[in-house]
Chain A
Amino acid sequence: MADEHIQILEFEKPLAELKKKIEELKVYAREKNLNVDAEVKPLEERAGKMRDEIYKNLNSWQIVQIMRHVKRPKTLDYVALMIDDFQELHGDRSFADDKAMVGGIGKIDGISVMIIGLQKGKDTKENLMRNFGMSQPEGYRKALRLMKYAEKFNMPVLTFIDTSGAYPGIEGEERGVAEAIARNLMEMSRLKVPIIVSVIGEGGSGGALGVGVGDRVLMLKYATYSVISFEGCATILWKDATKAAEAARILKPTAKDLFELKVIDEIIDEPLEGAHKDYEYTANNLKTAIVKYLKVLVKIPLNRLLEERYKKFRNMGIYERVEQQAQTAKEEADNA
């Protein structure tokens, strides 16, 4: 990747400017044969400090911006870096091949696996082909076909989540996108092979969850996962999509938030400035975690595996229990 094409995020600009100044100073010094070490050293120290301060205190909205970085690695980038002998498999055998949902067989650390993932593009051309990572019903049905395939051949399933949601269109409603997602939720909850879910970028509501039920759910440090888009939430709350940053804070969509809410099992580390800075480093971390969990999961007897998967999702939810007696007394008082 050519560095000059890398998008600089708003909050990174002061740092980028300082770095540029240092570079200019160095170039100038080289040209004029001057020694500027004394001048450069404090500037570099300042840049280092600035970098640490920015990235150690990222707020939700800054994380969303990193997650949306144009060069952020996508499902097939991880497949290329993690999976041996990958063979892509196409189609739902019923209607079409949805290019926003990719799938195929391969090996990870010697273990045969089925890979299923939502696929965004990195430029306009790719995004048009991938429908911006927004799947149609046939995408979810292709995913289900591949899961059943994996079950037949006893291959664990690895899913990768990166979508703003299922595509909202006429055809999706006609072909039952809701049914397709619902079916996957139920079938994934009882699929007779281990499933490891990785949220690598955008986890957008039901369209993400449609391949998101598994024995372990991993999430990259700068990925997000939310029931509603931040812009959509801001529009509902304040009739103002530009307040998305505030919505992102409230919805608690970051990996750290979801880990605290016990919705995910592990946060996978990324380079300080985001996965786009080092694909190999990120893929390697993700692979290490997946292989670690796979080795545990393949040894668990099927009945226990399914029971634990059921309990994992069954136990999700935050509610309170009011004391029944007090409640009955209150009802009686109300009725009196």
Chain B
Amino acid sequence: MAAWFHRPKYTIVRKTTERSETKIPEGMWVKCEKCDSILLKKELDDNLSVCPKCGLHSRITAKKRIEILTDEGSFVPMFEDVRSVDFLGFPQYKEKLESSIKKTNMTDSVLAGTAKINSMDIALAVTDFFFMGGSLGSAMGERITALIELAIRENLPVIIISASGGGARMHEGIMSLMQMAKISAGLGKLADKGLPFVSVMTDPTGGGVTASFAMLGDLNIAEPEAFIMFAGPRVIEGTIKQKLPAGFQRAEFLQEHGMIDYIVVRKDMKNAIHQSLSTMLNKEKYAGRA
């Protein structure tokens, strides 16, 4: 997939670079997959993992996302006691869970809890692509639903940020499919209470995640060029036996076709969401229904 920075193995730097003579330790440099620029890792990190040359928004962890989006130290993780179980005896599920836990230092593919955005209280869930593709299983379903219920009790807007390429987690069979209905039902209750739901789609968002909570926002927001789909491009190509158009299933394509409200760059995401929510929740508006 295009939007991806490989774990850097570069020790060779372009001759034009001043530092090419000096020995550079592995991991200091990364190459942008889109424009091929060789970038200092620190420079990229400082720019929120967005390429300063071409603007490619590369994938980031849920933890990093929370850092970028919320007031410092405001995130309170919840429902971490809810954990995935290999109840089908599915090949390699246990191993995949264990290695993902080790790799990401998360307990499943979503972080959920309360936080503040410019001092506004919110309920927040962020899925993590680096934990089994950010796939939706029973643990994610329960954590997000419990978060929505908490938001209903405490009158909080809900923000869910998706980085889930795989959609439903097949390792949990039919139960992962049912999580789509479970979370969507929770969002129905939230809507009944008139509380806002903001869905942020980042690269990649696919399958059962797109076909449930990700598409149900009062605000559907995306990052530039994020890959957002229902069916994977290879599945579609295999079915229709033709090449897919350029830009197919990218955020701009979805906006063009009426599926998302706006696209916003990473560094502006926090203020954009805060501003939209402030307008929606502003008390100075038509009060006829109340």
Q: Which of B137-153 contact A (CB under 8 A)?
A: 137-139, 141-142, 145
Bound complex: CA A314 to CA B81 (Å): 18
Mask, B239-265, CB within 8 Å of A = 1, is 110001100110001000111000000
A227 touches B173 (CB 8 A): yes
The residue in chain A whose Cβ has the minimal distance to the Cβ of B259 is A176
Q: Is the interface of B mostly helix, strand, loop or mixed?
A: helix
Residue A324 at the chain B interface, CB threshold 8 Å: yes
**Residue of B185, B244, B245 contacting most chain A CB atoms (<10 Å):** B185
Partner of A169, one of B88, B213, B239, B245: B239
Bound complex: CA A210 to CA B208 (Å): 11
Q: Which of B211-232 contact A (CB under 8 A)?
A: 211-216, 229-232
Partner of B88, one of A205, A210, A252: A252
Bound complex: CA A250 to CA B231 (Å): 23
A212: which B residues are within 8 A, CB to CB?
181
Q: Interface-forming stretch among A6-14, A51-59, A180-188, A274-282?
A: A180-188
B30: which A residues are within 8 A, CB to CB?
none
Partner of A182, one of B85, B142, B212: B212
Bound complex: CA A177 to CA B180 (Å): 15
Within the complex, what minimum Cβ distance (angstroms) separates B211 from chain A?
Answer: 4
Partner of A177, one of B87, B182, B211: B211
A205 touches B208 (CB 8 A): yes
B185 touches A225 (CB 8 A): no
**Given A173-B229, A206-B211, A226-B173, A321 contacting B83 (CB threshold 8 A):** yes
A227 touches B230 (CB 8 A): no
Mask, A158-172, CB within 8 Å of B = 1, is 000000001111101
Partner of A316, one of B91, B175, B232: B175
B185 touches A186 (CB 8 A): yes
A213 touches B174 (CB 8 A): no
A172: which B residues are within 8 A, CB to CB?
230-231
B138 touches A182 (CB 8 A): no
Bound complex: CA A320 to CA B210 (Å): 26
B258 touches A173 (CB 8 A): no
Residue B5 at the chain A interface, CB threshold 8 Å: no
**Given A178-B211, A186-B191, A206-B207, A310 contacting B185 (CB threshold 8 A):** yes
Within the complex, what minimum Cβ distance (angstroms) separates B188 from chain A?
Answer: 4
B229 touches A319 (CB 8 A): no
A209 touches B230 (CB 8 A): no
B186: which A residues are within 8 A, CB to CB?
314
Partner of B215, one of A167, A183, A205, A236: A183
**Given A206-B207, A236-B170, A322-B83, A182 contacting B182 (CB threshold 8 A):** no
Partner of B214, one of A182, A189, A252: A182
Mask, B166-185, CB within 8 Å of A = 1, is 01101011111111111011
Give the contact-size bracket for chain A. 35 or more
The residue in chain A whose Cβ has the minimal distance to the Cβ of B189 is A310
**Residue of B141, B172, B230, B259 contacting most chain A CB atoms (<10 Å):** B230
The residue in chain B whose Cβ has the minimal distance to the Cβ of A175 is B257
B214: which A residues are within 8 A, CB to CB?
178, 182
Give the contact-size bracket for chain B. 35 or more
A313 touches B185 (CB 8 A): yes
Bound complex: CA A187 to CA B184 (Å): 9
Residue B104 at the chain A interface, CB threshold 8 Å: no
B178 touches A206 (CB 8 A): no
Mask, B88-129, CB within 8 Å of A = 1, is 111100000000000000000000000000000000000000
B172 touches A321 (CB 8 A): no
Residue B235 at the chain A interface, CB threshold 8 Å: yes
B174 touches A178 (CB 8 A): no
Residue B82 at the chain A interface, CB threshold 8 Å: yes
B182: which A residues are within 8 A, CB to CB?
313-314, 316-317
Bound complex: CA A176 to CA B257 (Å): 8
Bound complex: CA A314 to CA B179 (Å): 8
Residue A263 at the chain B interface, CB threshold 8 Å: yes
Residue B36 at the chain A interface, CB threshold 8 Å: no
Residue B192 at the chain A interface, CB threshold 8 Å: yes
A321 touches B188 (CB 8 A): no
B141 touches A317 (CB 8 A): yes
B188 touches A189 (CB 8 A): yes
Bound complex: CA A170 to CA B180 (Å): 23
**Given A172-B231, A209-B181, A182 contacting B83 (CB threshold 8 A):** no
- A interface with B by C-beta (< 8 Å): 166-170, 172-179, 181-183, 185-187, 189-190, 205-206, 209-210, 212-213, 225-228, 233, 236-237, 250-253, 257-258, 261, 263, 309-310, 313-314, 316-324, 327
What are 17 A-B pairs with beta-carbon distances under 8 A? A169-B236, A172-B230, A178-B210, A182-B210, A183-B216, A185-B180, A185-B211, A186-B184, A189-B184, A206-B230, A226-B173, A251-B170, A263-B175, A310-B189, A319-B85, A319-B137, A321-B83
* Given A174-B253, A176-B258, 17 extra CB contacts under 8 A: A168-B236, A168-B239, A170-B248, A181-B211, A182-B180, A187-B188, A209-B177, A226-B173, A252-B173, A252-B174, A257-B174, A313-B178, A316-B175, A316-B179, A318-B138, A318-B172, A318-B175
